[in-house]
């Protein structure tokens, strides 16, 4: 059975994102490994002191969903909104609370509103360049 795991790549601000996402979704950090803590044979480049403190591999659990995050040093970081992550929450208050935490520095695509299928949905690009959809999966709460 295949397991699909979202993997977010950053250009030096991964640790900030981990703590922000943890706060917004009451997440649990499974691991956070810095480049300085990893086996140097995993890559073939010299790192600056700043890069050694970057996140080599991290896992954040949002509910039962694992997401992986890292500061990528292999390719130039390019932001893309072609793919988004949708998080379904129980109530419109939970959607509003998570959005309130994540909205600083973001660009709102669809402000919080109700739809035929959801009591509250909001779509935005966060300050790290990732597109999110937050929503309920019902129209009552």
Average pLDDT over residues 104-108: 97
Handedness of CA 45, 47, 51, 55 (dihedral sign): positive
80: pLDDT strictly greater than 90: no
Query: Tell me, what CATH number does 26's domain have?
Result: 3.30.720
CB contact at 8 A, 123 and 132: yes
- Tens digit of each residue's pLDDT (9 = 90 or more) over 86-96: 999 999 999 99
Give the total number of structural domains in the chain.
2
Write down the pLDDT at residue 32. Answer: 97
Enclosing domain of residue 96: 84-136
Using one digit for the tens of pLDDT, what is the confidence trace for 18-49?
999 999 999 999 999 999 999 988 888 899 99
**88 and 66 share a domain?**
no
Q: How far apart are CA 68 and CA 32, in angstroms?
A: 10
Task: Write down which residue in 24, 39, 71 finishes a domain.
Answer: 71
Residues 47 and 97 in one domain: no
Is residue 2 one of the residues assigned to a domain? no
CATH number for position 113: 3.30.720.110
């Amino acid at each position: 059975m295949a397991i699909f795991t979202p993997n977010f790549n950053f250009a030096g601000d991964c640790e900030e994102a981990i703590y922000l996402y943890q706060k917004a979704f009451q997440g649990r950090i499974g691991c956070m490994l810095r480049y300085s803590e990893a086996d140097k044979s995993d890559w073939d480049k010299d790192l600056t002191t700043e890069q050694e403190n970057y996140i080599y591999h991290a896992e954040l659990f949002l509910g039962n969903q694992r997401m992986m995050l890292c500061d990528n040093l292999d390719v130039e970081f390019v932001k893309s909104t072609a793919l988004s992550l949708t998080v379904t929450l129980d109530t419109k208050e939970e959607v509003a609370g998570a959005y309130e935490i994540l909205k600083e520095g973001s660009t709102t695509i669809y402000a919080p509103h109700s739809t035929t299928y959801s009591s509250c949905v909001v779509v935005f690009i966060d300050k790290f360049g990732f597109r999110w959809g937050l929503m309920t999966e019902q129209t009552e709460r």
